[in-house]
Amino acid sequence: MKLSARNQLNGKITNVEKGAVMANVKIEITEPGVITAAITKESAEKLGLSEGDDVTAIIKSTEVIIGK
Amino acid sequence: MKLSARNQLNGKITNVEKGAVMANVKIEITEPGVITAAITKESAEKLGLSEGDDVTAIIKSTEVIIGK
Amino acid sequence: MKLSARNQLNGKITNVEKGAVMANVKIEITEPGVITAAITKESAEKLGLSEGDDVTAIIKSTEVIIGK
Amino acid sequence: MKLSARNQLNGKITNVEKGAVMANVKIEITEPGVITAAITKESAEKLGLSEGDDVTAIIKSTEVIIGK
Amino acid sequence: MKLSARNQLNGKITNVEKGAVMANVKIEITEPGVITAAITKESAEKLGLSEGDDVTAIIKSTEVIIGK
Amino acid sequence: MKLSARNQLNGKITNVEKGAVMANVKIEITEPGVITAAITKESAEKLGLSEGDDVTAIIKSTEVIIGK
């Protein structure tokens, strides 16, 4: 099955911590790759984003799905 | 300002494509780092996740925020 | 109140499991209905999505809101 | 590859509409199945959720990933 | 219908901008109220969050559902 | 660092409740401000959204990032 999700980073689990309902999983990414961000055009313009800019891709941990 | 979002990957923009309302931004990640995923304990157990497993961190592009 | 969220599936709760902060709720959907997915055009083209394709709609449990 | 995402509904694409950056895909779900929602315990208690309750699972279309 | 979503801010639409597939809607919030954030315990501890701290609640526009 | 996330509401923490993996943080918003919602054009049209409408911005607590 191929996924529509643009970002698929390969890595190795370094830690699994379980609570009653949720679990926190640490994955050491071994190949950097490319991240695609779909943001509003308004944001892209307000930040003046353009090729070559140094930026940070910020992702909340609740948004990450794990494939194994 | 420090952010609660666990995943902050540094990179360089390689492409910006704008539509009427949304924009698609490609970021080449230059340092791999560690990804934290908060998933249900049920998922962690059904997939049998444990240290050393090779996995993929999957993130939809609409979930990525850009910091510059 | 009508909601902008395109996906509203009716069902019956079959299980509620509570932790300290989060809870996991199982809902048996009784009417299938239609799912709308807003994805990047790039994804739609890379997967070659078109009418009649058999696909899977994948949704992380942290993205589901319950209305009662 | 198995996914941590709890909700995987099978269906058939009935429509694909493309814009400049985003695309809207309609999927007719053919098997209802079970939806898992991870919500705060506070919400579960404020709504008084318990087995047998008739509820609606609400999902924004930007949160849906397509697997094919 | 009552919703499990903890954050429901009342306001008035000041602008609607439509593209081919997506639309951008500006809502002027008229009553401030309280925002609930469910984050990882790890984040809460790394940021040293405690009562009385001045903070910013950050929400991507693709995560906002509109009720009318 | 400036963020692409359109919604950044300033406030003060009134409560922090920690579980094993997740934490629930209450933030009293002190300045109302404007919320931007990126929804499908289809939703904007089905709800007939236009300037001056009284609406509610609905946000699940798992979607809120905290900056401090």
Paired residues of C34 in beta bridges: D28
- Whether residues F1 and B1 touch (CB distance < 8 A) is answered with yes
Residues of chain B with Cβ-Cβ distance to A49 below 8 Å are 13, 16, 23, 25, 66, 68
Q: Scanning every residue of chain F, which has its alpha carbon at the shortest distance from the alpha carbon of B67?
A: F3
Q: What is the pLDDT of residue F31?
A: 85
CA F26 from centre of chain? 13
**How much is the pLDDT for D7?**
97
Q: State the average pLDDT for chain C.
A: 97
Number of domains in chain F: 1
Whether residue B27 lies inside any domain: the answer is: yes
The predicted pLDDT at position F41 comes to 98
Residue B32 has pLDDT above 90, yes or no: no
Q: Which phi and psi (to 5°) does residue A53 adopt?
A: -65, 140
Looking at residue C31, what is its pLDDT?
Answer: 85
Hey, are the CB atoms on B49 and A19 less than 8 Å from each other? no
Per-residue pLDDT tens over the stretch D23-63: 999 999 988 899 999 999 999 999 999 999 999 999 999 99
Tell me, yes or no, whether B62 lies in a domain: no
pLDDT for E32 equals: 80
Asked if residue A14 is part of any domain, the answer here is yes
E31 has pLDDT over 90: no
What is the pLDDT at residue C32?
A: 80
Q: Which of residues 16-45 of A touch C (CB under 8 A)?
A: 19-22, 36, 38
pLDDT along chain A (68 residues), means of 10: 97 97 96 94 98 98 98
Asked whether residue E58 is domain-assigned, the answer is no
Angle at B21 between CA B19 and CA B22, to 5 degrees: 65
Rounded to the nearest angstrom, the minimum Cα separation between E31 and chain A is: 25
pLDDT the model gives residue A31: 85
Identify whether E64 is part of a domain: no
**In angstroms, what is the C-alpha Rg of chain A?**
15
Choose, out of D2, D31, D41, the residue to mutate when testing the contact with C (most C CBs < 10 Å): D41
- Calculate mean pLDDT across residues C33-41: 97
Cβ-based contacts of E38 with chain D (< 8 Å): 40
Instruction: Decide: F48 and E16 in contact? Cβ < 8 Å.
Output: no
From E18, F44, C51, C53, select the one nearest D16 (Cα to Cα): C51
CA nearest neighbour of F21 among D7, C64, B44: B44
Query: How distant is the Cα of B64 from the closest Cα of chain D, in angstroms?
Result: 12
| C26 located within any domain | yes
Q: Does residue B36 form part of some domain?
A: yes
CB A59 within 8 A of CB B13: no
Distance CA A28, CA B35 (A): 6
User: Per-residue pLDDT tens for F16-65?
Assistant: 999 999 999 999 998 889 999 999 999 999 999 999 999 999 999 999 99
What per-residue confidence (pLDDT) applies to F32?
80
Q: Is D57 left (phi over 0), alpha (psi -120 to 50) or beta?
A: beta
The burial of C12, by beta-carbon neighbours within 10 Å (0-12 exposed, 13-18 middle, 19 or more buried), is given as middle
Contacts of A27 in chain B (CB under 8 A): 34-37, 55, 57
The alpha helices in chain A, defined as continuous H runs, are 41-46
- Note whether B58 contacts D: Cβ–Cβ < 8 A: yes
**pLDDT above 90: residue E20:** yes
Q: Mapping DSSP to helix (H, G, I), strand (E, B) and coil, where does residue B30 land?
A: coil
Considering only CB atoms, E22 lies closest to which of D19, D39, D43, namely D19
What's the rounded mean pLDDT across residues C23-37? Answer: 94
Q: Name the amino acid, one letter, at C37.
A: A
**Structural domain of F29:** 11-53
Across the interface, whether the CB atoms of A18 and F20 are under 8 A apart is answered yes
CA-based nearest residue in chain A for residue F36: A40
Among B24, B40, B43, select the one facing C40 at the smallest CB separation.
B24
DSSP state of C51: T
Quick one: DSSP state of residue F41? H
Q: How much is the ipTM here?
A: 0.97
Q: What is the mean pLDDT of residues E25-43?
A: 95
Taking the CA atoms of chain E, what radius of gyration do you get in angstroms?
Answer: 15
Tell me the β-bridge partners of F13.
Answer: F27
Nearest to D51 by CA among C23, A66, A28, C55: C23
For F60, the closest of C6, C19, C65 (CB atoms) is C65
How does the average pLDDT of chain E come out, rounded? Answer: 97
Whether F5 and chain B come into contact, CB under 8 Å, resolves to yes
- The answer to whether residue E62 sits within a structural domain is no
| Torsion C43-A4-C47-D19 (CA) sign | negative
